[in-house]
Amino acid sequence: MKCNKMTMISNSDGATGEDFRILFKMDISMTYPNSVTIEEDSDTGSSSDSIKETGHTNQESQCPDTSAIGKKKLPPKATIGVPGKKRRLTSEVWDYFNIIPKKDPNEELKCQCKKCGNEYSAESKSGTGNLHRHIKKCVKMTTKDIGQYLITSDKGALGTRNAQFSQDKFRELLVHAIVRHELPFSFVEYEGIKNVLTYLEPQIKHITRNTAKSDIKKLHAREINRLGSELRGCPSRICLTSDAWTSIVTDGYLSLTAHYIDSNWLLQKKILNFSYMPPPHNGVALAEKIYSLASSWGIEKKLFSITLDNASANDSCVAILKNQLKLKNSLVCDGVLFHVRCCAHILNLIVQDGLKEIDKSVELIRECVKYVKGSQTRKLRFTECVTQTSLDSKKALVQDVPTRWNSTYRMLSSALYYRLAFCHLQLSDSNFRCCPSLEEWGRVEKICSFLQVFYEATNAFSGSKYPTSNLYFPQVFKIQLKLSEECKSSDDFMKRIGSQMFVKFNKYWSEFNLLLAIAVVFDPRYKFQFIEFSYNKLYGPGSNELVKIRNALFDVYNEYVRTFNISGASSSCSRGSNEVYSHGAKDQEDNQSFDVLEDL
């Protein structure tokens, strides 16, 4: 009967779809009380064609269509919780927005973007067009997964940032790479490089070699201004190192390097200039060039010392520089400590003199190494000899460069290690005829042990990431002590070598810069007791050399007292008051706490 009523209403000409929906809902509720719930579509507002069972009844449906609808079930959907009304959210925009629960029933229903957090109206009357538009323009919606982010690390913490390309940053990094890796300006025009960069960033604008050159000049100007400000504001004095160099096309160049302690007490090494040096390369021209370069940086009044090699032109260069700086009253102790000779260069001259005595033995070792390295067959044969003598084949067999004595020492050291292998190779290979005799091997062994002291000193002096002035005196003391012992040796061969090297040693180090001895006093491992111990060992107690160093130490102290006007400091520290440092010198002679004395 009710089905007939529904049929009559649906077929009436004056009834609308909305009237049908209301009457149908009322009719079903009267027939099946508390048995069904009608769900409405969230977007269209029309009733859903699903009726969900919420209870049971003993009455059978008189309308087949209604019972069929009551048995139909849909999967759960997201809904908006409006009292007395449930709407399913079927639009795809709700995958990107969250509904904000209402605190007041009268306030407007809103939703929030899951990515950026922006809020928009979620009322059905507002529709979803504004939500669709936000999804298209939302910045954080453009990256779908974390794999498209660039991961950056800052002190161990990971962060994320969007991959936004900057043309200015690209050009800055490109010129830094050219400078750091010494690349040609044409590097930016290589087709292969341009293809790689275009693949990584399609929006990139390639630059030419002239643009790269211009950018590097701008970078150079910025760095000069920054370094100049740092040098002029440096609280300490600055030590210079200079050397001349001639290119393969005979063009002369001069380098100038600054060493100083910055405001953070860190050792800094900066190459100030590498400039063209026109002829002549005499003392006057070198002095004018160095002084002009120092003046261009504004540090001519902050110089402490300059280190040069032992070329004769450098002696006259230093004399002229000292006169120029004295006019401005900018030297410590009136320039007595200004000139420092290159220690590594002096060592090279001394050792080269000693190597002349064993030219024959060294030449035989050099020929042995050349023979082994002459072909792959000889290398394999020598490796077999090394295996048969139970030696380690991983140790390299070094071939020297005759102009560098430290490479000669390494060659002799490696040849001595493979001594048995060379002897075995002589027996198995009839073409190998340059193997040294037993007497020559003995000479090589002695000279190698003797040169080890010089090799260790050269390595210590050649460091660039740590101070070396405090290492000078201990290393030179070991060398001088070794030469003195060899001059008194009973072996005529070693005595001849030691005597010849000692003459060269006295030529350069009899009047060495006292500043290098003062640096040892400030080293807590040595202090003044080590100076006393060394000179007592070499010259006996109360030597004039020890007195000179003590006087120079107090002269430097008084100089700094006058410069900085230290209040309360005893600027009248007399040289006679330094006897406090002389006590206990004899007790220090047997002290084994000094690293330099471990091998003596």
Predicted local confidence at residue 165, as pLDDT: 82
Eight-class DSSP state of 125: G
| Residue 416's pLDDT band (cuts 50, 70, 90) | very high
Asked if residue 478 belongs to a domain, the reply is: no
**By residue range, what is the domain housing residue 323?**
233-341
For residue 83, what is the enclosing H or E element? none
Least confident residue range of 148-157, 366-375, 416-425? 148-157
- 38-42, 250-254, 482-486, 503-507 — which one is most confidently predicted on average? 250-254
Per-residue pLDDT averaged across 153-158, rounded?
46
**586 Cβ neighbours under 8 A, 6+ residues apart:** 536
| pLDDT tens digits, one per residue of 516-561 | 888 888 888 888 888 888 888 877 887 888 888 888 888 888 888 8
* Extended beta strands in 342-463, E state: none
Give the burial class of 407: count Cβ atoms within 10 A of its Cβ; 0-12 exposed, 13-18 middle, 19 or more buried: middle
The answer as to whether 149 is a domain residue is: no
Q: In this structure, is residue 408 part of a structural domain? A: yes
Partners of 113 in the β-ladder = 97
CA-to-CA distance for 544 and 551, rounded, in angstroms? 11
* Strand partners for 246: 252
* Chain centroid offset of residue 215 CA: 23
Spatial strand order in the sheet of 303-308? 267-276, 252-261, 238-246, 303-308, 339-341
pLDDT confidence band for 22 (50 / 70 / 90): low
Q: Is the C-alpha dihedral spanning 69, 72, 77, 79 positive or negative?
A: positive
Instruction: Give the residue-averaged pLDDT of 431-449.
Output: 87
Q: Which string of DSSP letters, residue by residue, matches 512-554?
A: --THHHHHHHTSTTTHHHHHHHHHHHHH-TT-HHHHHHHHHHH
Of 35-39, 108-112, 391-395, 435-439, where does mean pLDDT reach its minimum? 35-39
Query: Within a domain: residue 289?
Result: yes
Whether 97 and 129 share a structural domain = yes
Looking at residue 218, its pLDDT comes to: 93
Beta bridge mates, 245? 253
> Quick one: 325 and 397 in the same domain?
no
**Looking at the structure, do residues 131 and 175 belong to the same domain, yes or no?**
no
Bridge-based pairing of strands 97-100 and 47-53 is: unpaired
Highest average pLDDT, of 3-7, 72-76, 140-144, 540-544, comes from 540-544
In a domain, 590, yes or no: yes
Question: What pLDDT, on the 0 to 100 scale, is given for residue 211?
Answer: 94
- How far apart are the C-alpha atoms of 389 and 38, rounded to whole Å? 98
For the ranges 24-28, 171-175, 443-447, the maximum mean pLDDT occurs at: 171-175
Contacts for 470 with CB less than 8 Å, ≥ 6 apart: 519, 520, 522, 523, 526
What is the pLDDT, as a whole number, of residue 359?
65
Residue with more model confidence, 230 or 477 = 230
Task: Identify which of 77, 28, 80 has the alpha carbon closest to the alpha carbon of residue 54.
Answer: 28
What is the enclosing helix (H) or strand (E) of 260?
strand 252-261
Q: Evaluate whether residue 547 is within a structural domain.
A: yes
Of 32 and 300, which is predicted with more confidence? 300
DSSP 382: H
pLDDT at 148: 45
The alpha-carbon radius of gyration of the chain (Å, integer) is 45
Return the DSSP state at 310: S
Could you say which DSSP state residue 193 is in? H
In a shared domain, residues 446 and 361? yes
pLDDT band at 163 (very low <50, low <70, confident <90, very high): low
28 plus 115 within the same structural domain: no
Shared domain for 195 and 313, answered yes or no, is no
> CA 165 to CA 156: how far, in whole Å?
25
* pLDDT tens digits for range 79-97: 554 455 556 677 888 888 8
pLDDT score at 18: 52
Judgement on whether residues 385 and 494 belong to the same structural domain of the protein: yes
High-pLDDT (> 70) share of the chain, %: 74
Write down the H helix ranges in 62-107: 64-71
Which 8-state DSSP code applies to residue 88?
E
Q: Are residues 12 and 80 in the same domain?
A: yes
In a domain, 576, yes or no: yes
Specify the CATH number for the domain of residue 309.
3.30.420
Q: Do 384 and 459 share a domain, yes or no?
A: yes
d(CA 514, CA 333): 12
- My answer on whether 77 and 111 are in the same domain is no
> Which amino acid does the sequence have at 408?
T
> What confidence tens digit (pLDDT) does each residue in 38-69 have?
444 444 444 444 334 444 444 444 444 444 44
Lowest mean pLDDT: which of 10-14, 420-424, 490-494, 501-505? 10-14
Which of 341, 363, 398 is the C-terminal boundary of a domain?
Answer: 341
Predicted pLDDT of residue 142: 58
Same domain membership, residue 117 and residue 10? no
Average confidence (pLDDT) over 452-479: 84
**Which tokens go with 376?**
């792959």
Q: Tell me if 154 is assigned to some domain.
A: no
List C-alpha distances in Å: 131 to 92, 97, 141, 346.
Answer: 10, 8, 12, 81
Check residue 467 and give its pLDDT: 80
Same domain, 429 and 540: no
Q: What is the pLDDT of residue 286?
A: 93
Assess whether pLDDT exceeds 70 at residue 500: yes
Q: Which residue has the higher pLDDT, 571 or 551?
A: 551
Q: What is the pLDDT of residues 215-239, one digit of tens each?
A: 999 999 999 999 999 999 888 899 9
- Reported as a single tens digit per residue, the pLDDT across 314-353 is 889 999 999 999 888 888 888 888 888 888 888 888 887 7
Tokens of 22: 């209301």
Q: How many domains is the chain partitioned into structurally?
A: 6
